[in-house]
Amino acid sequence: MSYQLSETSSGVPFIRCLHCGRASFNRNDIEHRYCGNCHVFHDPLGATTEIVASECPACGATHTAATSAIGDTEAPKANDLSVCIKCGNWNVFDDDLRLRAITESEIAALPDVMFQELSRASKLISKIHERRKIK
């Protein structure tokens, strides 16, 4: 696990990122397991693995790690989906495990549940960045 949920001696809850060591008392950060310093969502179910440095096709953000949203402990594989933590764009890992933009036909072929989860993740990322004015 890459975070710790705790509370102060007076009972105030907080989340501590175990990557950078910073704590947040923001209730949204706690609820969504988010580190505003690292700009990452911590997933209590999935493993975070290092990946080949790859840029998001939409915003150019460089990604060097991926965290499973469904509890997998394995590294990403070709054709696995990814959501950019910077812009919320949907991407796909190619055969070299580099990010590429998802195609219209791939989006159309997604099961409804997956489409809804990707949409929710993208909206949440956008909302958090809007609140924090991260560009």
pLDDT tens-digit map of 72-124: 667 889 999 999 988 999 999 999 999 999 999 999 999 988 898 899 889 88
Residue 125's pLDDT is what? 86
Residue 23's pLDDT is what? 94
d(C-alpha 25, C-alpha 114), whole Å: 31
- Give the pLDDT band of residue 18 (cuts 50, 70, 90): confident
Task: Based on the fold, state whether residues 50 and 27 are members of the same structural domain.
Answer: no
Task: Based on the fold, state whether residues 11 and 23 are members of the same structural domain.
Answer: yes
The mean predicted confidence, pLDDT, of the chain is 86
Range of the domain at 2: 1-42
Task: Based on the fold, state whether residues 130 and 66 are members of the same structural domain.
Answer: yes
Mean pLDDT within 8-33: 90
d(C-alpha 90, C-alpha 117), whole Å: 11
Task: Based on the fold, state whether residues 116 and 79 are members of the same structural domain.
Answer: yes
Task: Based on the fold, state whether residues 14 and 54 are members of the same structural domain.
Answer: no
Classify 68 as helix, strand or coil.
coil
Task: Based on the fold, state whether residues 34 and 68 are members of the same structural domain.
Answer: no
What's the length of the chain? 135
pLDDT tens-digit map of 121-134: 898 888 887 877 75
pTM of the predicted model over 0.75: no
Task: Based on the fold, state whether residues 88 and 64 are members of the same structural domain.
Answer: yes
